[in-house]
Amino acid sequence: MKRILVISPSGEVYNHDNVRWYRHKDIQRSINHYHNIGDAFVFDSSLKLLNYDKLDALEIAKPDLAQIDRINAEYDYVFLRGSNYVHKDMVWDQAVDVLKKLKIPVIAWGIGAQAPVKGKIELSEETKTVLRMMADSTTSIGVRGAYSAQVLWDLGIKNIRIVGCPTAFRRNNPDLNIQLSPLEKIRTAGITVRREVSSTYARDIKQYLTFHRDLVKNLAARFDVVLMAQGEVEEKKIVLGTAEQREEAFKALRADKQVNDWYLDETMEKLHRERLFYSDVVADYEDLVQQKDMVLGYRLHGNLMALANGVPSIYFTYDSRTVEFAETYQIPSFDVFSGKEFRLEDYWDQSLFDKFNRAYHHTYREMHQFLVENGADTKMQPVMRQSEFRQLQAA
């Protein structure tokens, strides 16, 4: 039997490799709790790329260290669900104590570094220790892009492979190829929204919110749109809450001066009342994007979910994470702080998406190789390099 463990799961697993939030039908239980369902996208996608018989969580907050010997004997490897772990405020609980006792590989899979708005990244000694211990336990450590790779390289970690994020490969399609329809035939659009943002991520909150507002309104005037939220409390209440909670959410948004002045005007409120989507079930997002002609916006994993399903997507970048994803996959992207006007026509260009198609093919191969070299039994199909393909043709 193939037995594996996950550090930092993000939701409960059902039907073997599907993820939803814990007790998702009990809406009131978590209606006041912010959980980014995008993290569940990554967990769900990771499971869809692996062959395994048994999955358990490895506790690092309150671990039973006496059980580590049993874990070493019974499990094949541990993987750390990809996320934004490499930054100055990361807390690892008792991960160091756990890693010291583990003898099985700890596969860091699609992890990323968050650059501060100003200055160089600063990391705690604990974070440096955890990263080095994980890298030492495996053939390679998987990061989401070039910036994260450089941060680890500067720590002396050299066994790095840039693998992007499992969400992009969740359909396990090495031949994904996005071909654009004429823009005049586009009718429906998903807009991945992120209203809640801090100066840690966006260097100019006013510009971020006003551009966000105007983009949503302009797209809504052209297309049949759905606004795709990913876990903010007010947005959850608007979609899933009682009638009273719904109005409480709008009251709270209006009480936020930045949101009231720069984001939630009359048109935006109407769109939030009529076109907002949220779910605690990852599969619901996949079903939604499959019905759209395009998906674009601010959410890393919401956009990747669309691309994985062959739906064209455009990123709006505002921090190092969004830039890094766009660069890794060569996704058409627009810098919200550029001061330029966004014209969809400039980005609805097949040559731009051909760059994505090539980068996707390359990164798919890297992800497959990463899993294989670290001993994970993967469902991903091997992909030949162009040089290997040419040699086969010549033979």
Q: Is 192 a residue whose pLDDT tops 50?
A: yes
Which regions of the chain carry the CATH code 3.40.50? Answer: 3-172+360-373, 183-354
Rounded Cα gap, residues 309 and 290, in angstroms: 7
Q: Which tokens belong to 18? A: 């599907």
Q: Is 330 a residue whose pLDDT tops 90?
A: yes
Instruction: Note the pLDDT of residue 374.
Output: 97
Instruction: Note the pLDDT of residue 393.
Output: 47
DSSP string, 11-68: SEEETTTEEE-TTTT-HHHHTT----HHHHHHHHHHHHTB--SEEEE--SSS--GGGH
Express each pLDDT in 254-269 by its tens digit: 999 999 999 999 999 9
Global pTM reads 0.95
Confidence of residue 213 (pLDDT cuts 50, 70, 90): very high
Mean pLDDT of 299-320: 96
Decide if domain 3-172+360-373 falls under CATH 2.70.98. no
Rounded Cα gap, residues 231 and 355, in angstroms: 31
Confidence of residue 394 (pLDDT cuts 50, 70, 90): low
Instruction: Note the pLDDT of residue 46.
Output: 98
Confidence of residue 301 (pLDDT cuts 50, 70, 90): very high
Pick the CATH number of 183-354 from 3.40.50, 1.10.730, 2.40.360, 1.25.40: 3.40.50
Express each pLDDT in 54-112 by its tens digit: 999 999 999 999 999 999 999 999 999 999 999 999 999 999 999 999 999 999 999 99
Rounded to a whole number of angstroms, the CA Rg of the chain reads: 21
Q: Is 390 a residue whose pLDDT tops 60?
A: no
Instruction: Note the pLDDT of residue 392.
Output: 45
Q: Is 391 a residue whose pLDDT tops 90?
A: no
Instruction: Note the pLDDT of residue 385.
Output: 62
Instruction: Note the pLDDT of residue 199.
Output: 79
* Residue with the larger pLDDT of the pair 200 and 80: 80
Question: Mean pLDDT across the chain, nearest whole number?
Answer: 94
Given a contact cutoff of 8 angstroms between Cβ atoms, the answer to whether 82 and 46 are in contact is: yes
Q: For the beta carbon of residue 24, count every other beta carbon within 10 angstroms.
A: 17
Q: Is 346 a residue whose pLDDT tops 50?
A: yes
Rounded Cα gap, residues 323 and 330, in angstroms: 10
Express each pLDDT in 371-381 by its tens digit: 999 999 999 99
Q: Is 116 a residue whose pLDDT tops 90?
A: no
Express each pLDDT in 143-161 by its tens digit: 999 999 999 999 999 999 9
Q: Is 11 left (phi over 0), alpha (psi -120 to 50) or beta?
A: left
Q: For the beta carbon of residue 221, count every other beta carbon within 10 angstroms.
A: 9
